[in-house]
């Protein structure tokens, strides 16, 4: 599949779309934006090296592009916020109540339904996203609207291609950030309350004298 901006390869099953993509680029090199998609991964990578293994019917995809193709005002450390919030906007436009918890977790009400990881290697940036489209278990939620993976991906990459500025994305995210204050985030392997966190213009937060960035 090719939507004019991103070449998309669908796999029935893979250990991790992120690992598969990185290995492919390491072997074949980078020529153009590329996305790997699956409905089932057996060893998915989550934040801080945790697993995000999902059952069939959900959406897992990873893509790679050049850092130079991103908006010039985007702080690279906050690419996870940028990529995540654009997907949130795409789903919201179709009627979803999904929201983004700082820095990279998708939520429905008080339940996590997915997340984003972002990494940089030389001139390339990799982004992996997992999203529950169907029910997994009581611990996690799932998307509240019906959209096919093809439609989500096509709409997402069309939106990403528009190169919306970080300033615009951040102006919306900082309002939504207030929801994050009722939750905790992991900082230096510890769960820390975001109640008194200060959101900085570069997407990082300040917790007392500690500044924490979202790239992971």
**Domains of the chain: residue spans and CATH:** 7-174 (3.30.930.10)
Burial of 164 (0-12, 13-18, 19+ CB in 10 A): middle
CA–CA distances in Å: residue 206 to residues 196, 210, 212, 215: 9, 6, 6, 15
3-state secondary structure (DSSP) of residue 210: strand
Six-digit token pair at 192? 């820390």
Q: What is the pLDDT of residue 66?
A: 96
**Range of weakest confidence among 4-8, 74-78, 128-132:** 4-8
Q: Assess whether pLDDT exceeds 90 at residue 13.
A: no
Average pLDDT of span 105-133: 94
pLDDT band at 95 (very low <50, low <70, confident <90, very high): very high
- Report the largest interatomic distance among the alpha carbons of the chain, rounded to a whole angstrom: 47
Q: How far apart are CA 81 and CA 163, in angstroms?
A: 14
- Does 137 score more than 60 pLDDT? yes
> What is the DSSP-derived secondary structure letter of residue 10?
E
């Amino acid at each position: 599949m090719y939507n004019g901006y991103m070449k998309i390869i669908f796999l029935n099953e893979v250990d991790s779309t992120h690992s598969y993509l990185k290995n492919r680029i390491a072997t074949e090199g980078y020529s153009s934006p590329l996305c790997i998609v699956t409905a089932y991964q057996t060893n998915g990578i989550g934040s801080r090296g945790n697993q995000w293994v999902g059952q069939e019917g959900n959406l897992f995809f990873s893509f790679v592009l050049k850092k130079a193709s991103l908006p010039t005002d985007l702080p690279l450390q906050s690419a996870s916020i940028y990529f995540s919030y654009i997907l949130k906007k795409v789903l919201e436009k179709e009627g979803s109540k999904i929201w983004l918890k700082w820095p990279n977790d998708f939520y429905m009400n008080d339940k996590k339904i997915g997340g984003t990881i972002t990494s940089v290697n030389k001139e390339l940036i990799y982004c992996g996203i997992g999203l529950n489209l169907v029910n997994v278990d009581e611990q996690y939620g799932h998307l509240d609207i019906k959209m096919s993976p093809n439609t989500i991906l096509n709409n997402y990459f069309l939106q990403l291609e528009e190169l919306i500025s970080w300033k615009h994305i951040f102006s919306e995210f900082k309002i939504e950030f207030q929801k994050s204050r009722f939750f905790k985030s992991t900082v230096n392997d510890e769960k820390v309350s975001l109640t008194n966190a200060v959101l900085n213009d570069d997407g990082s937060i300040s917790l007392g004298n500690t500044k924490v960035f979202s790239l992971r």
